[in-house]
Structure 1
Amino acid sequence: MNSRRIEVPVRIYHEDTDAGGVVYHANYLRYMERARTDWLHERGLDHDRVASEYGVLFVVRSVEVKFQRPARLGDNLLAVAELAGVRHGLMLFRQSVVRGTQSLVRAQVMVACVTVKDFTAAVIPPALAHFLGVEG
């Protein structure tokens, strides 16, 4: 696993699926959120610490999703998040949900840095950028 990528195991349960045993489309966003949250956690941070120590939050600005194949009840998947780029207060993640070698869902997720005080756009603080390994 490289420093810009994380893979998070996901097992599919009844609660994830419709009556036909197929994963409900919105659940893929939850799996991808888990991967991004674990990406942050792997760096020793969580959302509360980022807010309290740096005065900023990370929020999803946009998501482009391409559904390719369905996941089904009982599947063992991986939710993947890879930091693809950083510009000022934005981080672009390339994400996917895979089953073995099959890509089920691909997404590009733009995450914005905003102030805790009033949710206005902010540049990622240099100390935080260094800590995240996203400087420059």
Structure 2
Amino acid sequence: MSQDALHQFPIRVYYEDTDMGGIVYHANFLRFIERARSDWVRALGVDQNAMRAAGEVYVVRRVNADFLAPAKFDEELVVETRPQEITPARLILKQTVKRAETSLFEAEVTIVALALETGRPTRLPAEIRALR
């Protein structure tokens, strides 16, 4: 996969993202990377509403996450999303949340497409398979 497959998504930390200690609550990192994945898919030209109308959706099958350093209120962060492995039915992404050059959170996320009617795996859209 080429280097140009890297997608960057800016995030600002709002008060609602923080815990009592004033740092980003751990579960919110998962929200940040979800937003970045949705933006990445949209940038590829995949219409998730059309997919759902056609009876298919993306689901997260697995997340392997490492919390490396805290993020705090009002900081500007960037979520980097990069494909690691693509098969016809599975996509593995590396997602990193950074403050400048400092990695705060890293995750390996496995995505699959499912048929809504049966709940069974189906092929990923051509726009994603073409990244191989």
Normalization by structure 2: what TM-score?
0.90
Percent of aligned pairs with the same amino acid: 32
Contact preservation (8 Å) 1:5, 1:39: no
Residue segments in structure 2 that go unaligned for 5+ positions in a row: none
Residue segments in structure 1 that go unaligned for 5+ positions in a row: none
- Cα distance in 1 for partners of 2:99, 2:22 equals 16
Which residue type is aligned with residue 101 of structure 2? T
Please provide the CA RMSD for this pair. Answer: 1.8
Superposed counterparts of 1:6-21, under 5 Å: 6-21=7-22
2:49 equivalent to 1:33: no
> Which residue in 1 is equivalent to 2:44?
43
- Could you say what secondary structure the match of 2:107 adopts? strand
Q: Per-residue displacement from partner, 1:74-133 (whole Å, max 9, x unpaired)?
A: 110001111111123100000010000000000000001111212211222xxx32x335
> Which residue in 2 is equivalent to 1:62?
62
- Cα distance in 1 for partners of 2:129, 2:6 equals 12
- Cα distance in 1 for partners of 2:72, 2:47 equals 31
> Which residue in 2 is equivalent to 1:134?
130
2:103 equivalent to 1:103: yes
- Cα distance in 1 for partners of 2:40, 2:116 equals 21
Contact preservation (8 Å) 2:86, 2:129: no
Normalization by structure 1: what TM-score?
0.88
- Could you say what secondary structure the match of 1:62 adopts? strand
